[in-house]
Chains A and B, each alone.
Chain A
């Protein structure tokens, strides 16, 4: 009997260790980072004062991590932020590990329709990122957006709002962003959206969500969509729907700053960290996860051997956002059951 049990024990140990033991670690692929940040000052929209800090922080920290991790990286961005002593600009810029000087370009001014502007914007920002490389399956694209977002039922379409001049803007629906980028880029893509109603980009995932929400009306008659303790029947219904739906394992991952019916706040209403009031409630936690020094507001290298995954990022942001803020701004995720390590330092 003892021999049998020992043999069974050894068989289990072998079984445990055999599955991934012989899988070889792949070399690091290239990393492409696209960042879009808008402040809307002097435009028809209400100005956002913290998006500039979110955008600059993300650019600095990401580049710092790319360098520390030894990545071949390419950065492409678009913003409307004023630089010291210059006019407000609506500017594309791009640089890379091999070409550190930024190359800048602007909207041509001859584009009339929304469709033309959408295509020009996405083509330019993508091609600036890709540069003269030929992306492969092992490469990673990270797309970050901070600015205004439109929700369900908006006449101008759902998704980010892009300004191309103080008076001109056009919508950029999530479906168009996904279609353009996902169809062209062969590797995995992580989208990070910090804007109102951005949960629209996390619909129809492979897994059933566990959060429950309800309409909430405060004493002043303001209506909001609040996170509430999970309801077991709802969790099982969501899991049932996801288990038997056709949604498949996708190569794209999305983390949104809020649910599809929620706003995203310019800052957390219960600050608990340094300079928290100067950053978006969501991006502040993203930056902390990535190791940005919030005290000095400076990019910092992380401990060697650190890695960053999509679900790890989501979990960190979700857990660290103040509970009162998370109630009316709940981060959402679109993922397969396989988590994706987008940075390995």
Chain B
């Protein structure tokens, strides 16, 4: 009976002990600049804004080729050009996200995930909630530094945003 119980416990712990041997704490920081195209309801064209984005992944883990993270995201959008006297004002997105990543080949990896953010319109003292789907591509230059290409699709009330950026990512595996 005791032997059987011990075997069962060892069997359950086996995957964890294997994972523990390859598991690494892997925080990262992404910095990117790019463009955001916003499609608003009742408008028949997109409005463009420049954007700056920072993703701080302090809660990040790597297991072999797999990566998981719970990052904090910050994104600043500039004012859009004026069309018919109307324009989007500056805004700041602050959010939390979840990511899963995989490295299919040496020197390249990607992260997929979602962000839940608050968008603050700085001039209006007002805001909306935002849900974003994110895909981040990393082209490794060194074990620490990568070129970053993030794509983001965001949805909020009456608005669909698509953003494309280029930046750098710093990561360190402990």
A-B pairs under 8 A by CB, number: 130
CA A236 – CA B127 in complex, angstroms? 9
Number of interface residues of A (CB under 8 A): 50
CA A35 – CA B84 in complex, angstroms? 25
Q: Is the beta-carbon distance between A15 and B139 smaller than 8 angstroms?
A: no
Residues of A within 8 A of B100 (CB): none
Q: Determine, out of B21-29, B65-73, B156-164, the stretch whose residues face the partner at the interface.
A: B156-164
Q: Is the beta-carbon distance between A339 and B123 smaller than 8 angstroms?
A: yes
Q: Tell yes or no: B125 within 8 A of A by CB.
A: yes
Q: A239-B129, A249-B42 are in contact. Are A5 and B147 (CB under 8 A)?
A: yes
CA A17 – CA B46 in complex, angstroms? 11
Residues of A within 8 A of B87 (CB): 309, 338-339, 341
Q: Is the beta-carbon distance between B45 and A23 smaller than 8 angstroms?
A: yes
Q: Tell yes or no: A19 within 8 A of B by CB.
A: yes
Contacting A at CB under 8 A, from B120-174, are 120-121, 123-129, 139, 147, 149, 156-159, 164-166
Q: A138-B84, A249-B40, A340-B86 are in contact. Are A239 and B166 (CB under 8 A)?
A: no
Distance in angstroms from A259 CB to nearest chain B CB is: 12
Contact with A along B87-110 (1 / 0, CB 8 A): 111000000000000000000000
Q: Is the beta-carbon distance between B156 and A243 smaller than 8 angstroms?
A: yes
Q: Is the beta-carbon distance between B166 and A248 smaller than 8 angstroms?
A: no
Number of interface residues of B (CB under 8 A): 41
CA A209 – CA B125 in complex, angstroms? 6
CA A8 – CA B89 in complex, angstroms? 27
CA A335 – CA B124 in complex, angstroms? 8
Q: Is the beta-carbon distance between A207 and B129 smaller than 8 angstroms?
A: no
Residues of B within 8 A of A235 (CB): 118, 127
**Chain B interface residues (CB < 8 Å from chain A):** 34-35, 37, 40-42, 45-48, 50, 80-89, 118, 120-121, 123-129, 139, 147, 149, 156-159, 164-166
